A = this chain, B = another copy of it.
């Protein structure tokens, strides 16, 4: 790369850091790439750090020592997070979402990569001080959210499946009780798709009693993996007995009235600890 002015260097460094969240990037790497003194690079990083932190894009951590460098951790400041959740609440309350049986149509939200990306950044922000090695979800609707969170945390995604048409080698299956119907179902994860001992964040689009999430928690045990937390886009509020205790919800569905075409969605518990 040709020698750059500071202005061009800042554009390139910003681009690079955004593509490599949660990775330690050594000052030497930048210094060699731009043929610039480490002192100049440090000054550049101060400018980026201030801008990112002022605007709530994330934190730029300095890691001292021989293997040190900087690490970009995507975050979302509270006011931006509130705006995002407010918008989700407005969108979810639209009566045209109501489907027969009181289900809500959500694929317009889940099918929007930019929205999912922002929701992923919100979850990454809540989780910024946790060590997480993988994100787990269950096919199909949890997948967009899981990738968005995984991308911001810089970790892989494990997809649990409910079908059996799987060609992924040795599999681990468990039975679980779907909380809403009490029906016994099976979920399956490829043995090699989650490392033993991994610290795992579980996500899904919707939680009612939490039977599916509880199934995934049980599945973690089969992999000697540890649960770090659970995140959902929507929790259903009126549930007799919740099968998981600790979770982060962005929104809460209190009521769906099919006859009167009324939905009641409000903010979830996410800001209790933000």
Contact = CB atoms under 8 A, between A and B. Distances in A.
A105 B192 contact: yes
Contacts of A130: none
A65 interface: no
A272 to B, nearest CB: 27
A240 interface: no
Given A159-B107, A168-B99, A113 B50 contact: no
A6 interface: yes
Q: In the complex, which of the residues A11, A19, A101 has the most CB atoms of chain B within 10 Å of its own CB atom?
A: A11
A107 B154 CA distance: 16
B140 A47 contact: no
Contact of A12 (B7, B51, B103, B158): B51
Given A18-B18, A163-B163, A114 B154 contact: yes
Interface residues of A, number: 53
A151 B151 CA distance: 12
Q: Which of A50, A105, A113, A151 has the most CB of B within 10 A?
A: A113
Interface stretch (A142-150, A208-216, A227-235, A244-252): A142-150
A2 to B, nearest CB: 8
9 contacts: A11-B11, A11-B48, A11-B51, A15-B18, A15-B51, A101-B167, A108-B192, A140-B159, A144-B147
